[in-house]
Structure 1
Amino acid sequence: MPDDRLEVAAGFATERGPRADNQDFGGVHLGSPEEQRLHGVIAAIADGVGGARGGRVAAELAVRSFIDGYLDQKPLSGVAASATAALRGFNRWLHATGRSDPKMEGAAATFTAMILRGREATVVHVGDSRAWHWRDGVLTRLTDDHVLNRPGQDHMLFRAVGIESDVKLDVRVQALEPHDRLLLTTDGAHRALNEGEIGRILGRRASPDADAQAIVQAALAADGQDNATAIVIDVIRTGALDWASLGAQSEALPMPPPPKAGEIVDDWRLERQLADGRHTRLFVARDRQGGDPVVLKFPKPGGLSEADLRAILLREAFIGQHVDSPHLGRTLPVDPARQSRLYNVQPFHEGGTLHGRLSRGEPIPMAEGVRIAACLARAVMALHRQGVVHRDIKPDNVILSPGGGVKLIDLGVARVERVEETGARAPGTPGFVAPEMFAGDSDGEEKTDQFALGVTLYRLFAGEAPWGEVDPDSRLPYERPTPLTRRRPDAPAWLEAAIMRAIAPDPAHRWADVQDLVQALESGGALAVEPPREMSLLERDPVRFWKGVSLILLIALIVSLVLG
């Protein structure tokens, strides 16, 4: 499989020039590999415009606050939405502070940031700093200056961070390829140099640090009269596709009827059919170039519209690459040059479904069940933290590996924040659908996921539903669930209480958050996971025990009388 990690190199340079102080500020946040995968690489530059002290403070805080605020957003909300929310929050604070603190009166800053994630760079911009893209000798400016278009006034800003209570931002997305160069500059750099001179420096392809320094020094040598700052970023390797580009690639792939076992697709040998659902067909496959077995999921045209089938696979691919949990099924990236038709690739996990294990009619030991329950709840919690609602939690979508692994799978009908809904089908499976969904008051949210999880956990321990076997097309008797301990007498009281709360008919009576259910399962599980000891005769059959004791005492009495 291709390496899906984004790899970049960055360089930074700044000089105050003839000014008394430097009111520019810039920064690059690379983060950990996991942070890069979820949020991307962040580069930002700002130029204070509100006076000596206030301008410098505004510029530095704009960059630092933006980076912190962006990293606090949910990655699946989208780069542009997360970046906009992060900067608008700081803008409101700066505008209010500039009106109440004399030391910050009129403080404002230009601001330009680039977020590199997957195979795209998203530019967020206000003011007259600039973002640039260089590829194969061609330099392209990605931003427009927000200055007055009048002779002698082209240095006067009409938009910047802090000027108004709300800030209007320009957003632009640039597709990335390996060997691209990206550049951020303050006006002290690009006003002293024309685009040809900037392009020639970038075309030298020295290190990012060396070329950032060269741009700043060239600006000062050209009689620049302002602070000058430059950030240069080299794209060494692009990462996994993000939502928009993933969707575009999906649209370009044909969707013929699904193949059969034994066929070869894009150098994958389909070894055996794993499942054949309503809308997809799954195969265990192996790359003919080597590697571990994987699962290939193909759409089945005919039952749904082509758009809905594409949406199912696209959602699963996107969520599977962006939500990280050891208890969630993943989706593996595929080299676009290799893929000739629409399908998803997932890791292959040995084992079977929870449904399959329950169908054998053997009760799951209490300690093992509590561990599985906690893992499932953690998987759902990981989805909810990223703004994803699964909408089809059930034993069929839980894989139990021989080594004890637990995976929640099938994200095709999941809801993702800020992603358009598909009309594929009403989400959820009869018997697991919360009453508010059955009544049409909800089409899936965190509390309905919790309900389906609660029903799944009830089945995990009891082997059947809380309401027994009922017509799946009729409304469940939600108000009369059978207490867990009636069907599983060895279930501790805390476990029964935790699960029965999750399946409460009224969403207000369920857990406030799945995280609370996780804590209940893990804290209570510490009391329940001790291996069972063999019960004594007194515990198993006290009547028989005391009869035996009485017989022994009677015999002893008779012996004492005879011998006496």
Structure 2
Amino acid sequence: MTLTITAGHATRCGKRERNEDFVGMVTPDEPERSAKGVLAAVADGVSGNDGGREASEYTVRGLLSDYYATPDTWSVAQALERVLKATNSWVQQQGTVRPELSGMATTLTCLVLRGTFYYFAHVGDTRLYLLRAGALTRLTTDHVWDRPEMQHVLTRAIGLDSQLTIDHGMGPLHAGDVFLLASDGVWAATTEYELAFQLGRLALGECDNDACADALLDAALEGGSGDNLSALVMRVDGLPQQDLRDSLSSMRQLPLPPPLRPGQLFEGLRVERMLHASAGTVLYKVAETAEGGRTLVLKTLQSARAGDALELAAFAHEEWLARRAVARFFPQVITPAQKNHLYYLTTWHDGATLAQRLEGGQHFTVPEVIALGEQLVRAVGALHRRSIIHRDIKPDNVHLGADGQLRLLDLGVAQSGIDAGSAAPQAGTPSFLAPEQFDNAPACAATDLYAVGVTLYFALTRHYPYGEVEPFQRPRFGEPIGASRYRPDLPLWLWHVLQKALAREAVERFETAEEFLLALERGAARPLPARAAPPLATRNPAGMWRAIALLAIAGNLVLLYLLGR
């Protein structure tokens, strides 16, 4: 199920000759709705001439188009911040280029509904309200002078100053939530009781969104409003999926399955064989018993973990993340017809992991590794766009399907914005951990991309770029071993790509999976420049100080010799 909303708006001049307010909204289809969300905005232009209307319209129109053009890897707040700061510069410049628009500016309040959360950005004195379970809450703060006689004078607005400071906020969505974005012409002449009453009628289904917005404007006019009036009303009718908290709550009520044997029937499934067992989890290959039933993978906790609250939370988190990873790069979660035990099901795909292929003696050519790398980077990028950090990318978790599709497995230690999983910075396999993680730096996109680099290096050479790292070892990272030592057929451009992915410092790596992918796709046509050799102080600080000490000793010996002559 996708996010389902209804929306309506109304805007009028009121007692003014010209309406300087502007209202806009975008409700994209999937997959953009899941990736970027639904965006709505209200702006109130400020100027003594036509500039106010131009500022509000340009700001809203620009936001509605440019937000959806930002990279999916950016967070909502980052995307809104970048777009609005660019807009602020444009509005400021217009007063210089066109003197008749000097002093034009606009307030803005915008709202993004994505997944099971809302996000907002705000500057000025337009407002955002939330009605939830009958209670009205104002989510924004007016940016005006706090002196009574100057409460209509803005301290912040788009175009008002070259340095724009934006308020950001976020929170969870509930089915039935009603949001109101309103200009000051509405809220200044209407009591919060009246606002709650009209929004409550919408929540109860007594009117539609457009009628609710019109009623709010009527109430403001009756209250004596002399300004332009604009209201945009949104109601959340359905959420895309159960959130993590609900998932964890329901899982705690379920017992773990008993140990399963091949041939055993279990909740409409026939167990074919055990696939893998670790200290915490166990996987089975199963088949639906119904005619034409599918082959699936069942994952559950070991029976010894039944009373472990942390393991239950981590398992619920893993399933929640797996349900969010809806793309061809991942096994898809299947909802069973009946479920009386704690487990989850995913699609089964014939094939083998990259580790199994390597252990079986398969030799990967350079073009095959490049193609593998492009698919793997796309998979990682799909996770990052959903704000998921995998944290355990390695050949064992890269599945090469018989259908030619690469799939990334095992979100057991993955992290997200709402993280109930392992918080240990070194979760994962030591040889694939980025150098900064051994200093307890948190996992991020750069650490995943580092692990991709190690995986591709290993697929080419069957060696590790910095040598194998044992558990509990504190490794030292110098420069990665040139892959051409093991693969003389390696193109120089590909080594430069791997070098960037494997850089010891996170800031020197690819910033996003998309940048990594572009480097692989361009290949020798537009190769990355060779990485500059780091100074000795960075490569080998101990060696540098030894060299300085030897030079100092040699200098002192020469000086003693000269003095003794």
TM-score normalised per structure 2: 0.70
Total equivalences in the alignment = 510
Tell me what 2:379 maps to. Answer: 379
**Structure-1 separation of matches of 2:315 and 2:93:** 45
Shift of 1:29: 1.1
SS of the aligned residue for 2:61 comes to helix
User: What do residues 186-205 of structure 1 show as CA deviations (whole Å, max 9, x unaligned)?
Assistant: 23334555337634763564
Task: Determine if contact 1:455/1:465 at 8 Å carries over to the other structure.
Answer: no
SS of aligned partner of 2:276: strand
Q: Cα 1:294–1:187, aligned 2, differ >3 Å: closer, same or farther?
A: farther
Residue in 1 that maps onto 2:171: 173
SS of equivalent to 2:451: helix
> How far does the alpha carbon of each residue in 1:310-336 deviate from its partner, in whole angstroms, 9 at most, with x for none?
357526734x45566533x2564979x
Cα pair distance change 1:330/1:209, threshold 3 Å: farther
The 1:196/1:504 distance shift into structure 2, 3 A limit, reads: closer
Q: Post-superposition shift, 1:404?
A: 1.2
Residue 181 to residue 308, structure 1, CA distance change in 2 (3 Å): same
Counterpart in 1 of 2:228? 227
In 2, Cα distance between the equivalents of 1:23 and 1:455?
56
Q: Does 1:460 align with 2:463?
A: no
- Structure 1 residue corresponding to 2:136, chosen from 135, 140, 144: 140
Where do residues 38-117 of structure 1 align in structure 2 (5 Å cutoff)?
38-68=35-65, 70-71=67-68, 79=76, 83=80, 87=84, 90=87, 103-117=100-114
TM-score of the aligned structures, taking structure 1 as reference length: 0.70
1:382 and 1:32 mapped to 2: Cα distance?
Answer: 18
The one-letter code of the counterpart of 2:12 is E
1:11 to 8, 11, 31: 8
2:427 corresponds to: 427
Distance 1:374 1:204, change over 3 A: closer
Q: Secondary structure of 2:399's match?
A: strand
Structure 1 match to 2:276: 275
Aligned-residue offset at 1:457: 2.6
Letter in 1 for 2:320: A
State the Cα distance separating 1:135 from its structure 2 match.
6.6
Q: How does 1:189-228 map to 2 (within 5 A)?
A: 189-191=186-188, 194-195=194-195, 198-199=198-199, 202=202, 205-216=206-217, 219-220=220-221, 224-228=225-229
Q: How many angstroms apart in 1 are the aligned matches of 2:140 and 2:506?
A: 49
- Distance (whole Å) between structure 2 residues aligned to residue 64 and residue 506 of structure 1: 43
**Shift of residue 45 of structure 1?**
0.9
Q: Residues 221-370 of structure 1 correspond to what in structure 2 (within 5 A)?
A: 224-240=225-241, 245-247=243-245, 249-250=247-248, 253-254=251-252, 258-259=256-257, 260-261=259-260, 269=269, 271=271, 272-284=273-285, 292-300=294-302, 306-307=309-310, 310-311=313-314, 314=317, 317-318=320-321, 320=322, 326-327=328-329, 329=330, 332=333, 345-364=345-364, 368-370=368-370
Distance 1:149 1:373 in 2: 57
> Structure 1: how far apart are the matches of 2:88 and 2:325?
30
Quote the offset at 1:132 in angstroms: 4.1
Which whole-Å CA distance do the structure 2 matches of 1:496 and 1:304 have between them?
49
Question: Which string of whole-angstrom CA distances, capped at 9 and with x for unpartnered residues, describes residues 324-369 of structure 1?
Answer: 6533x2564979x998876555433333212222222243566655
* Alignment CA distance shift 1:356-1:255 (3 Å): farther
Distance 2:378 2:331 in 1: 15
**Separation of aligned partners in 2, 1:476 and 1:148:** 56
- CA shift, 1:44, in A, is 1.2
User: Is the Cα–Cα contact under 8 Å of residues 392 and 428 in structure 2 kept in the other structure?
Assistant: yes
Counterpart CA distance in 2 for 1:197 and 1:216 is: 13
Residue matched to 2:532: none
CA contact (8 A) 2:436 2:505 kept: no
Could you tell me the percent identity over the aligned residues?
29
8 Å contact 1:183–1:230 — kept in the other structure?
yes
Give 3-state SS (helix, strand or coil) of 2:234's partner.
strand
**Structure 2 unaligned regions, length at least 5:** 526-565
* Structure exhibiting the larger radius of gyration computed from Cα positions: 1
What amino acid is aligned across from residue 235 of structure 1 in structure 2? V
Distance in structure 1 (CA, Å) of the matches to 2:421 and 2:89: 32
Contact 1:253 1:342 in 2 (8 A): yes
